[in-house]
Every structure is written in C-alpha cells, then in structure tokens.
Structure 1
C-alpha cells in the first residue's frame, strides 16, 4: 500500500493561506443603506419590508417609514421594497465604503389592497389581520378616487352609515349600525373632537386634504376611549411628513350643485388647497390651507331662500415634530373658520328680510409623543385643547335701501363657547411572547358658556384603564380590559369591562368575538343647551341619567389569498337610559332631551373584497334592526314586532388602465327603507301605533382619475347619478318642534366635478 506524504512546509503554507483569505474577507469594506419610504401622496410607508437582493440583508421600516441596513459589503445591489396593499418597487443602488447610501423609495397603491396597518385601539401599529378588533380602513387612495370634498362624501358609501341633514342650521349627523351620532366617537389622530350640538358635524369640519386614512371600529370601545364610544369609533388619521425633502402639494376642484354653477365662485362648490412639507435630520414641518366654498342650492324654495345654505369653510393646519431612533414628538394645530348664511324671505308689506349668519371658529391643539425605552417597554403621551365657538348673527335687511341693522330679538345675537381638554398616557410592556400589558389614564375636562347655555357648567371625567394581550398559542389572542371612571357629575359604574378575542381557525380563516360594557355620561350640550329660533324649540335636561350598554360582536374573516377576502359580522347592542328627544311634559310644543328606558340594535354585515387582474371590487350587504320603542306599552299598542329592519347593499369597482395611467371607479349603494312605529291619536281619542317609513333610495358616483405626469393628476366624474334630493317620508308627526314629518332632505341633486392635483418633491 502506497503512503501519501505531505510535507510540514506545505501544510503550514495552506493554513496560512486560509487564515489570510478569511482575514481579507472579514476586512472587506462595508457601508450602509438608509432612507425613508413614502407612499404616492407623500405620507410615510410605515412598516414596509426592505430587502437587498444578493445578500441576506432585510429590515422593516419604522412607523415614520425610516429604515437603516448596516454592514453591507461595498458593491452594486438591487433594493426591493414591498408593503401590503402597494405595488413592490426595485431600484439599483451602489454601496460605498464607510458612508451611508441614502434612498427614498416611493410606493404606489396596488390593485390588491386587502390588508393594511391600523392604529385605532392597538398597542402599536399592526396589520388588520393581527388585530383583535374588526377594523375597516378607507385609504388615501380611495378618498382620492372619490373626489370627496368632506368626510361625509367618503362615508356615505360605507355599510351601516346613514346621514341626516338639518337644512335650517346647515348641519349633518351620522348614524352607525342603527345608532345616532351621539354614540359615535369621532377622533382626530386618536384624540376626541368637539361638537356644539348633539350631531357629529365635526365630520364635515375636517380638512379632507389633510387626511391620510380613516379607520372605523364598530362596537363599543369604552375601555380604550371612554364616553361616546358606544356604537363605535371613527378615527381620522392625518398625513405625516415624509423623507428628508421639500414637498409641495396643491389641489383645485370645481363641482356643480345640481344644475347650479359659476366658475370659481358663487354657485356650485369650489375647493382650493395648498400644502408644504419639509424634513431634515429628524426635524419635520408641514402646513396647509384649504378653502371650500358652497354657493347654496335653492331647491324648492323661492326668492331669496335656499333649501341648502351657502357655506364657506377655511381650514388651516401646521405641524412641527422631531423623531429619533426611539422617540417621536410633535405639535399640531388645526384651525377652522366656517360661515353659513340663511337668507330669509322678503316681507311683501315692509320689503324687509331677516337673515341669519352662523359663524364657527375652532382651534384644536394637540401634542403627542412616543418613547421606546426598549424592545419590551414604550410610553405614549397625548394632550389636546379645543376652543370651539359658534356665533349667531341676525340682521334685518331693507331691500329697498340696502341698509342692514342688527336684530334685537331673543336669541337673535348669541355665542356658544365650548372648551375641552384631554390628557392621555399609555404604557406598553411585553412580559413575554405570550403576555403583554397596557395600563393608561384619561382625563377629560369640558366647559361651556353662552346665552343659550344654562350657567357656565363643567364636566370633568377621570379614568384609569388597563388591558392585556394573552396569547397561549400562535393562533389565539385574547385581550381583556377594565376601565375605572370618576365623573364630576354622575356616579359611573365601578368598573367597565371588555373582552376581545381572535382565533386563527386556519391560516385562511379568523374568528373574532367580543363583549363590552358601555358607559356614556350626558354631554354638556344635552344637559344645559337651550336652542330656540324660528324652526327649533329644544331644551336641555339637567336631570338626565347616564347611558349604559351591553354589546356583543363577532366576525368571521376568510382570506384565501391577497386577492380575495370575505368578512361576515354580527352584532347585538342592548342600551339602558339611551338619550334621545322627547316632548317637554310642561309644553308639548317644545322638545327636550330625555332618557329612553330600553333600546336595542342588532344585525349582520357581509363584505367581500377581491381583485382580478386590473379590477378591484368590494361588494357588501347589511341587514340592521332597530328596537321598536313602543313595544313596552302593550296596553295601548298591542302586539308589535320587536325590531324594524332595513337593508343595505354597496359595491365599489375600480379598473386600472395601466397603459394610459387611468383609473375608472364606480361607487354604488342601495339604502333600504327605514321603518318605525309612531304613536298616533285617532279622532275618537284612542291611541294606536302607525307604521311610518322613510323611502329606500339608490346612490351612485362615477369617477375618472388620470395621471398626467409625475407632478399632475386629473380627476372628474358624476356624483349622485340617480339625482336624489329628498326621500319620501310617511310620518305625519307635527306635534313637536323636533318633528320628523314631511320629505327628508338628502342632497342637492346630481352634480359634476373636475379637479387637478399637483405634487412636487425634492430629494
């Protein structure tokens, strides 16, 4: 057998070569890659995935869209950025030694946006799929495709939403899942908005151009957000500054009001907006101004009188912030000036007319901060102050001479002032992968004054809340919560509990179930606000009781792939002492706020979202029942159905013509008739129940959105294709100043619009 012999000198040479090669590889020069990911509208691409093709390097962008990849060997690579709901992008990069390569990828909305990152009710931003709450998201892309002028124009196509209009005051209220706006919490970046009356007019007093997205959580959120959150939460998320660059945006849109239109002013709807953002070395600044003018619509009125009041809104916002690796803080101011003009009819005998002008001024200050002490512990702080004033100015106009004088009648000149302070802090501590804890506190201080306010009342609400996430396995996520309340006016329940759970039955099928106890103390406007004019006689009620509720919600979500998602939801809400309007027992011509002993809502929804090639579609259905309030009085009204039901169907279709950069969209909703039972007195003084109905209707908008170049986007379309103006109403109730008799006003008819958007960014 032949021996193999290796000399000691050769072995030593091989070992030396191996060591030197390893050392050279270890000492290969490296650099880094960093930047900020932006979406098409300039907002951050929060939590996008960043990969470097060719090396095993990847990271996740933070909530501001910023990312950093260190220790990348010098060379040429391909950077790949992806985010759920957006088209992935790739770009070549060159990594140089000992210096960062700075990039700013920009993502466009994809046609398969079935999942998004949400923040409402979460410990930290996370995808909808991981959330224990069933959250609906309306993205900035969807808002843009609608050509919307206000939030109502976005929500009116959503399942479960209805709107009612007060033409005399020029206000609009929202209803969600059978509940009035009183039970819907409106948030701006997670902080509550203030309304003068019992309507949620703040939805139409928010600058649509500053909104990044709208998140909707149905069902009580009383543990997390306190009073008013019985029916659900609408959280308006504003845009955030993007990368280290200067950005300029602008938008103009012209729209008819029915057949009424005049270019740029007076008749029709006219919107102008301009905004700017800047960011450098962690500092960011943004500001914007929007003017939204509606010239009114005469409708069925005659002479000087309009069915829909002319409205002029001026919005302004400014923001300054600083973000570091583990901290983020910013201050934001939102300002509103709104003028509505109600022109009275001319007196044929005196040739005088009585005009009223409603002037609203609102300033919302908010300060928010986040400190991430470690991967396990972080603290969020929020504070806001809202100064809200609405003034009524009544004048008498001499149509012969043109002379205008102030009216001195009761309530003709008044101002109502509301001041609200909110302080909120939450901590998030991860004990282990199976358990995390979130304690926090809320302080809400509300005050009001004015001629129509009884005295100068205040309500202070203090709360401590705690919730946790328990995950015994990767497929189970349970979140119990408790809220402890101290109210300066009412004895709140000793504790408000909630329990939410999510079960991943399979990789494609998720089940969510929840129970929540709700509590809502009466607001200042319901207790002490007295409103008397030519069309309203409403009195506050200082003896109101607090509302409570028990609510159950469940949803089953099937997501077969990124191209199909189906959600089936059911809900049941049982309310005690619900606050509504009734007749003042001392004066039947006056309405007042009262407690209703029992009220319930129940129903189900089904929503399907799917994409096929360049078509994205949403098809939904809902069936909602409202409790018949006359049911408890069987002596007078006999046997009546427990619930009265209404149906809704909606469809959103968008087809992307990629070759010519154009998107065609159709938004459709059928709203079924809304029945109710009302008490009536027959000619022989017998009491009976009468079925009344608000008629069903179809609503549809069709829009076209075309990208002209990287700076300009054109959009145009038709709103209210079926020309809906008023809804038939069989109610004949005229016994109070807050009656529901006669046709229900809904819109000013079919309208046409065209607009142009501009965006420019400098790296």
Structure 2
C-alpha cells in the first residue's frame, strides 16, 4: 500500500515543483537606466491580485509563481504602469529587467542641483521643482522658454525679439538667475539675460528649478535661483531616436540621435537637430508713390529663425564607482530681421535688413568617485564659447545688391570665452556631514561695443557646507559660507542657514536664510556704445548687487498608497535686493541720449505659494496659486499685488496607450512698470490679466517605440498683454508686456528603437 502511495505522491510533488518558479526582477528607469527603489510589483492570478512586493534600494524584487497564466504589474507614482503576462513556466527568463517610463515628477524624485550627492526631494534642504522629460514631451515644448512659461513665479518676455526670450523669477530679472547645463553655466548674456529660446529640449532628461539664492555653490547671478538642465545619459547597448515637429505657425523641426555601448563600461551618444521658424505676423508698412501703394510682406513681428544643433556625450563607469563624462553641445542660429521698404520711386527701391548670427559651444568634463570608506569627490569643468555677429545691410530691391551700412552701432561682433572649474569633497562623521569645494570662473570678453574692445573678469572662490542631524529622522540644521576673490571688485562673504524639520513621517518643514549677490558684468563696467538713439558708457565704479532672502515652506503627504498620492505644499519667500544695477540718464544739455549704469534701485517683495499635487489611478493633477506683494522700497511707486494660477491635468488610458494633457496659467493684473531717467521703477498704466492654455493628446504605438503628440497651444488666442492708462514712454521700456504667438496647432512624432 505504501508503495502505491509513493508511486502516486512523488510524481505529483515533482509536477507541482516543476510548475512553481521563482522570478527575479529589476526595475529601471527607461531614460537613464537607474534602478528604481520601492516600486510596487503586483502578481495577478485570474485577474485577481495575489500578492504585492516592493523593490529594494537596488530596484530588485523576487516573486514565486506557482500557477499559470499569471500577470506581473509594476506601478510607482510618476511612471507608466508596466504589465507582463506569463503563460507558462518557460515563458520568460528567471532574471528579468523591466524598463518603465517616467510621466511626471512625484514623491520619489531625486535632485542633484546644489547638493553634494543625489538627494530625494523629501530630504532636500531647499524647495525644488522637477520637470521630467515626459512632461516636456506632453507640452510639445521645443525650447526652454516654452517649458518654463507654465511654471509658478516665472514669467517670459521678449518673444519674437532679436534678443530672444528672457525671464523673470520671483519678480527678479533673468540677470539674477543662473542657467546651467549639467551643473555648468551657460554664457552669452544679452542685456543681462540668456536667450532661453536658444536652449533646445530634444536632448533633455529633466529640468530642476530652485527658486531662491544658490550663491554659496554657484556664485554670481544665482541670487534669484538656479535652473539646471540635465541632459540625457544613455545606458543601453544600442539606441536610435528620430523625431520631428510641425505647426501651423510654420515651425518645422527634426532631431535624431544614436547611442551605443563599448565593452559595457563606456557609452557614446551623438545627436543633431534643426529648428526652423518662418516668422509670423507681417508688420510691413506700405509705401506710396503717385497714388499707388506697395506692401512687400517681408517684415515680421516674430522674426524668422533657424537653429542648427549638435551634441556629443561619452561616459565611462569603472567598477570602483569612478565615473567620467565628456560632453559637448553646439548651437548655430540665424535670425533674419527684414525691414520695410525705405524708398519706392522711379529712382529706386531699398530696405534696411538686419542679420544676427549666434554660435554657442559648451564643452563639459565631469568626474566623480569615492575616496575612503564614506568620502565622495566631484570635479566639474567647462569651456563655453559665445559668438554673436550683428550685420546691418542696405539692400537694393531692384538689383538685389547688398552693402553694409556705415551708421554708428550698425555692425557689431561679440565674443565671450568662459572657463569654469568646480569641485568638492563630501564626507560624514557620525551625525555631521560636510562639504568643502572650490569654484573658479574666468571670462574673456571681446566686443566692438566694449571700451578697449577686450577685457577679462576672474573669480576664485572657496565654499564650505556643514550639516548636523540634531534628531535622527526629525531635525537637520545646515550652514554654509562662500569666500571669493574677484579681479574687478570686492565680493562679500556669503552665508546661508537651512533647517529641515520632520515633525511627522509625512510632513517636512523647511526654513532658510541666505545672502546672494550679482557681480556687475563687463558690459556694465566698460560698455562704449553709440547709435542714433543711444550713447551708453559703462561705469567701472559699480558695486555688486546684494540680497537678503528668507524662505519658509511646509509639505504634507496626505495620501501615499502605492502609486496613488496627494501632497500639499505651502511656501513663503521674502526677497530684499540692494544696489540693483540700472541704466540711468546722464543730464547733459548737449547730449540728450547719454546714459550710464548705476547702483540705483532697492527692490523688496514677499511671495506666498500654495500647491497641490496628486495622482489617483490614471489621473494626475497639479494646481498652484501664487500671491506676490511688491513693497514700496523708496523707488517712487506704491506697493502692489500680483497673483498667478497654474494648473496641469493629465489622464491616461494605459491599454489604449493614450494620454490627455491640459496646461493652464493665469497671470493677474498688475501695474506696468518702466525705468525712469534715474533708473528707478515708475508706475505707468496697468497691465490686464491674461490666461494661456494648451491641450495635447499622445498616442503610443508599436510597443511604445513610437510616440505621437498633437495639440493646440494658446487656445484663447492671446496675442499681447493689454496695457491701459499709459501716460509716457521711456527709452528703457517696460518689464511685463510681451507678444505671444497666436492659437496654433502642432503635431510631433518620436521614434525610439532600443536594445537592452
């Protein structure tokens, strides 16, 4: 009898064992190949949830599957769900890697800007806003200005202008905001601003925005905050990308890249793109002769623009965790500003045209590694080249002959060579964590508008940062100090103090005080420019702008259940800027167009933000409200308030591979400010409130290798901000009025062929 039982039971046990299988999974980010910790891995049997496990800190998890068919589903906030079905024990390998696609920033986000090592958002001492690649794609954004235009406390101006698009953040101009690519500064400021429309998004993995002073680490120009563009770092044996975009305002763009691994440790990526804009809104003035008229349709409000872009990246990762990255980004732009006919008669016809040629190169070499048991070192180095040529020509419209004009200021060539070297060492002793570092910046400048044509400014700085965990998992305090030597002025010592309090597991309270500064630029010090409307000379006695800034914020994760979450964030800022540099009029009865630069202004404001961010199943939403109070700081205008509202709504149909996206921003009514002849801001009319809204739909095809995006931008067709009550004009212009492209439709395609 026992023998019969043995014959029956043993084969049964063996058959069950042969069916049971332990599968080992690794979950990684599809864009950067980084492991994703604490992702939820669900096992379904007959459509019913059987068990749920979480990945460890290395993104790994194991599941026992003892019946088939079974379904494995991976979910985590901010990422597309990933689903795989196993029909039998032999359907898949024992060790499997899942590559999941990020959709939007969420609680698990990690930041690298201004910190010694990658840090989770919840543990960061400063308040960050992270914009991932998927969000950039959902907006159909081509350049940096399009991405930032929907962010809270950030406004754009100058669209269509020959100087491109500039920004204001927290009420401060773009000359006080540091623009970085992979942590290294972008050079080539015109009128104090970086042209954000020249920074392409096709090779960007994410954008990190820090509102508030970051002068301890990044020095000058960072008192208003830092915007760090993180480029894509590929980690795959082979990858090919092709993309394109077209719009009803005559935008025609394409981009492509190729990446491949060399012996597992090295990765090479090369890419190229072309952005072309044909121009919009004819503003030609008709010419008349003998009761006849002609309109050439050659002058546009938004100027025709062509950008040619290239990039190269090489990375090497050693078994010892040493990492080296060599990257180069190139951009070549041509802006064409054709003028209306100046003359049209039997004696001839001619027009004055302006051409602006810009070349940008940003080369970067970064290295990092471990030193000792707990130490970590970094070295970041860059060379940035900026070259801009302005040509003014007189074009004969009969013979098509072109000749350079000879008026003062009509021709100009500007070149800037910038070298940056930044490094640091981080370690910890018990509850103390410290960072010491250096930051060297050297600029060599050449321009026909510069006194003596060439000049240089060099800055050598050392900084230290110390954190102490007063109460583990509850209270951390931090202080930092920066000391600098500059070849043109005497920079101050820059201190900073930060506090992170976690009274509850799901609540973080941050408080900080920091000083910031902005050094006068070489143009402000040594400009010598004259044309028919201006006679501007620099002022080599300028002092640096200096700020005192306070920040208080609280974040609370009301819901955090698997991929569903709801978070509330309250933030308050107070900014006080002294010695602001402005262009002022020089009283001279013999030269009414004489101007110079002067430390003329004092600006102070307070800002309160309220934000909610959450996801439920397939729905994601972000809502923000900002209230800004601008104080009367001795500048001749009454205090006033400005409000903003931003909204992002996203809904996905995973099975169909379809996403719906809506982006909205309301900019409230506010006084229109201009700079008077003393460089002070004066009230001059009122700018009406306006709203901008975009909507897009996305469809994924061919196993998510193809992404189609279509949408409409500027749904309300707002083409300019209306200003009423203007009583006078100034040579310096206003601060808030801008033009906008009209309602337009676009479609884009992104094809990714990858081998993992």
TM score, norm. by length of structure 1:
0.84
Cα 1:51–1:415 shift into 2, 3 Å: same
Is residue 169 of structure 2 the alignment partner of residue 176 of structure 1? yes
2:543 to 537, 542, 545: 545
| Residue in structure 2 matched with residue 48 of structure 1 by the alignment | 37
Cα 1:391–1:35 shift into 2, 3 Å: farther
| Residue in structure 2 matched with residue 376 of structure 1 by the alignment | 374
| Residue in structure 2 matched with residue 600 of structure 1 by the alignment | 604
Shift of 1:202: 4.0
| Residue in structure 1 matched with residue 658 of structure 2 by the alignment | 662
Shift of 1:739: 2.8
| Residue in structure 1 matched with residue 98 of structure 2 by the alignment | 105
Shift of 1:50: 7.9
| Residue in structure 1 matched with residue 188 of structure 2 by the alignment | 195
Is 1:214–1:235's contact at 8 Å kept on the other side of the alignment? Answer: yes
Cα 1:327–1:92 shift into 2, 3 Å: farther
Provide the secondary structure at the position in 2 that maps to 1:382. Answer: strand
Is residue 261 of structure 2 the alignment partner of residue 270 of structure 1? no
Structure-2 separation of matches of 1:348 and 1:632: 45
| Residue in structure 2 matched with residue 20 of structure 1 by the alignment | none
Shift of 1:613: 2.7
Query: What does the per-residue CA deviation read over 1:598-652, in whole Å, with 9 as the maximum and x for residues that have no partner?
Result: 21121111111122332111111001123345x366xxxxxx63x3211101111
Equivalence map 1:564-579=2 (5 Å):
564-579=566-581
1:136 to 129, 151, 164: 129
Is residue 484 of structure 2 the alignment partner of residue 485 of structure 1? yes
1:438 to 435, 441, 444: 435
Structure-1 separation of matches of 2:416 and 2:642: 36
Is residue 354 of structure 2 the alignment partner of residue 356 of structure 1? yes
TM score, norm. by length of structure 2:
0.85
Structure-1 separation of matches of 2:571 and 2:164: 31
Q: 330-339 vs 537-546, which deviates more?
A: 537-546
Is 1:48–1:82's contact at 8 Å kept on the other side of the alignment? Answer: no
Provide the secondary structure at the position in 2 that maps to 1:557. Answer: strand
Structure-1 separation of matches of 2:427 and 2:256: 41
1:306 to 300, 305, 311: 300
| Residue in structure 2 matched with residue 37 of structure 1 by the alignment | 28
Q: 587-596 vs 707-716, which deviates more?
A: 587-596
Is residue 247 of structure 2 the alignment partner of residue 255 of structure 1? yes
2:365 to 364, 367, 381: 367
Structure-2 separation of matches of 1:236 and 1:730: 38
Cα 1:208–1:677 shift into 2, 3 Å: closer
Shift of 1:354: 1.1
Structure-1 separation of matches of 2:340 and 2:553: 53
1:324 to 312, 318, 321: 318
Query: What does the per-residue CA deviation read over 1:308-327, in whole Å, with 9 as the maximum and x for residues that have no partner?
Result: 11110111100111012311
Structure 1: state its 5+ residue gaps.
Answer: 1-30, 62-66, 94-99, 258-267, 634-639, 682-686
Provide the secondary structure at the position in 1 that maps to 2:660. Answer: strand
Cα 1:728–1:607 shift into 2, 3 Å: same
Is 2:29–2:101's contact at 8 Å kept on the other side of the alignment? Answer: no
Structure-2 separation of matches of 1:50 and 1:664: 24
Structure-1 separation of matches of 2:526 and 2:196: 23
Shift of 1:233: 0.7
2:670 to 638, 657, 674: 674
Structure-2 separation of matches of 1:33 and 1:564: 31
Is residue 628 of structure 2 the alignment partner of residue 624 of structure 1? yes
Is residue 336 of structure 2 the alignment partner of residue 337 of structure 1? no
Query: What does the per-residue CA deviation read over 1:31-89, in whole Å, with 9 as the maximum and x for residues that have no partner?
Result: 998978332xx33335535899999996534xxxxx7999x9xxx99999776522565
Is residue 147 of structure 2 the alignment partner of residue 154 of structure 1? yes
Is 1:170–1:308's contact at 8 Å kept on the other side of the alignment? Answer: no
Shift of 1:729: 2.3
Structure-1 separation of matches of 2:54 and 2:573: 45
1:390 to 388, 391, 405: 388
Structure-2 separation of matches of 1:178 and 1:758: 40
Structure-2 separation of matches of 1:680 and 1:322: 55
Is residue 743 of structure 2 the alignment partner of residue 750 of structure 1? yes
Query: What does the per-residue CA deviation read over 1:643-683, in whole Å, with 9 as the maximum and x for residues that have no partner?
Result: 321110111111112232111111111101221566999xx
Shift of 1:305: 1.3
Calculate the aligned-residue CA RMSD, in Å: 3.2
Cα 1:608–1:50 shift into 2, 3 Å: closer
Is 2:28–2:36's contact at 8 Å kept on the other side of the alignment? Answer: no
Is 2:673–2:683's contact at 8 Å kept on the other side of the alignment? Answer: yes
Structure-2 separation of matches of 1:406 and 1:80: 66
| Residue in structure 2 matched with residue 14 of structure 1 by the alignment | none
Shift of 1:731: 6.4
Q: 52-61 vs 205-214, which deviates more?
A: 52-61
Structure-2 separation of matches of 1:298 and 1:536: 28
Is residue 279 of structure 2 the alignment partner of residue 296 of structure 1? yes
Structure-2 separation of matches of 1:189 and 1:619: 28
Structure-2 separation of matches of 1:335 and 1:757: 22
Shift of 1:107: 0.8
Structure-2 separation of matches of 1:410 and 1:484: 42
Is 1:118–1:128's contact at 8 Å kept on the other side of the alignment? Answer: yes
Is residue 640 of structure 2 the alignment partner of residue 648 of structure 1? no
Q: 528-537 vs 45-54, which deviates more?
A: 45-54
Is 2:27–2:35's contact at 8 Å kept on the other side of the alignment? Answer: no
Cα 1:463–1:352 shift into 2, 3 Å: same
Structure-1 separation of matches of 2:71 and 2:663: 39
Provide the secondary structure at the position in 1 that maps to 2:141. Answer: coil
Is 1:170–1:309's contact at 8 Å kept on the other side of the alignment? Answer: no
Shift of 1:399: 0.6
2:218 to 225, 231, 248: 225
| Residue in structure 2 matched with residue 454 of structure 1 by the alignment | 451
Shift of 1:200: 3.1
Equivalence map 1:71-110=2 (5 Å):
84-87=77-80, 89=82, 103-109=96-102
Shift of 1:172: 1.3
Cα 1:731–1:596 shift into 2, 3 Å: farther
